[in-house]
Amino acid sequence: MTTALLERKELIQQYLREAPGLLSSFSFINIFTWQEFFRFELEVIDGNLCVFARHDAGVFLYLPPLGKNVSVKTIQTCFERMDKANRNKGVSRIENVHAHQLPLFPAEEFCHYNKGYEYCYYRKDLATLTGNPYKSKRSSYNHFVKNYTFQYLPYDDSMLAECAALYQDWAQSRRPVYAHNVVSLQMLEENAGVHQLALRHYRDLGLTGRVVTVEGKIKAYTFGYPLNTETFCVLFEIADLSCSGLGVFIFREFCRDAALAPRKFINVMDDFELENIHRTKMSFQPVALLPSYVITRKGK
């Protein structure tokens, strides 16, 4: 599957350029890394690229049809394809729909619900951490700088094994926090594969990766990608929780990085409906919360 998707990278990106989006899912990188969870099937319908995602429960449309001329007929055909594959027609749906795309789905025929928000910030706010709202963040950053011997470095292939080991240590430290949440525990396990894919294929994907070493050992890493001409998306960030202030440090340094300088906004994706992640992302003062909608049909 990995090779097959890479071979179709340019096709997917071509259609994404025709229908750019603010949500993190509107990227080949996002589709590629989610292949740990879904088997993606591509089909061009009425000149629009449709990205179907298949898993144990059935098939759904991972993104709204990508193209310049999406019609009601295109959408109806997509639902026909899904209904044919799904024993339970309620599984048939379209995910990751922008607010501005809702008019494509007439209210007399379709329903929509908000499945969550992605957090968007001004990059300069995160790079500078100026002002009273960021007082505690500056304190955490300064604490790390004053108390640790560190380096902020570009990621390279030689760091793969050490980053993978860091993820396992980090996941182990998070298990007690999520002990009451079976879904979150499962995500900890499954995301190990997502990170492995990104770490192994970062060049193929055009990912920007950075690590922080403390006394010569990798204690944090982060990766991201340009989502559009104005926005950079942080795909993930892992930091050793025993190093006080490290999370704030790598996040700020990444936002200050020359590779991100051309972008006005930083998108850090959603909060997985976890309250602690929601609080952390809100504490960095987002300038916008971007809703992501799911489309279903009435009566299904």
pTM of the model: 0.94
* Digit-coded pLDDT (tens) for 80-134: 999 999 999 999 999 999 999 999 999 999 999 999 999 999 999 999 999 999 9
Phi first, then psi: what are they for 163, rounded to 5°? -70, -40
* Backbone φ/ψ region at 42: left (φ over 0), alpha (ψ -120 to 50), beta: beta
In the chain the domains, ranked by start, together with CATH numbers, are 2-105 (3.40.630.30), 119-289 (3.40.630.30)
pLDDT band at residue 191 under the 50/70/90 scheme: confident
Q: What is the pLDDT of residue 124?
A: 98
d(CA 82, CA 252): 43
| Percent of all residues in the chain with a pLDDT value above 70, rounded to a whole number | 99
Paired with 225 in beta bridges are 233
Neighbours of 275 (CB within 10 A): 8
* Digit-coded pLDDT (tens) for 94-108: 999 999 999 999 999
d(CA 95, CA 112): 10
* Digit-coded pLDDT (tens) for 158-175: 999 999 999 999 999 888
pLDDT band at residue 1 under the 50/70/90 scheme: low
